[in-house]
Amino acid sequence: MQSVTFTFLSHAIEGIEGEPVAAALRRAGITELGQSGVDDTPRGAFCFMGICQECRVRIDGAVAYACKAPVLPNMTVTPYVQS
């Protein structure tokens, strides 16, 4: 079990290498992963099965599911911004 650090917006987050990004963020007290493109209300991981599309973030620029994507050292996670 390898403890590593990554960033979400301006926060430094500690997680375990290989665990889902959403799990590490939740232990750090972060549930809001972005906002709805329609009305800017907060959204976060909901179904954890790749169906709801609400946990999508950008990891080092590429769109990924936070419920599934593994934590890697020094990665940068930002919300997936819609219009």
Nearest approach in angstroms of CB 48 to other proteins is 4
Burial of 74 (0-12, 13-18, 19+ CB in 10 A): exposed
Paired tokens of 83? 């219009």
Q: In degrees to the nearest 10, what's the CA dihedral of 49, 12, 74, 77?
A: 40
Binding interface with other proteins (CB under 8 A): 1-2, 15-20, 22-24, 26-27, 31-33, 36-39, 41-54, 62-63, 67-68, 81-83
Nearest approach in angstroms of CB 10 to other proteins is 19
Among residues 7 and 36, whose Cβ is nearest to other proteins?
Answer: 36
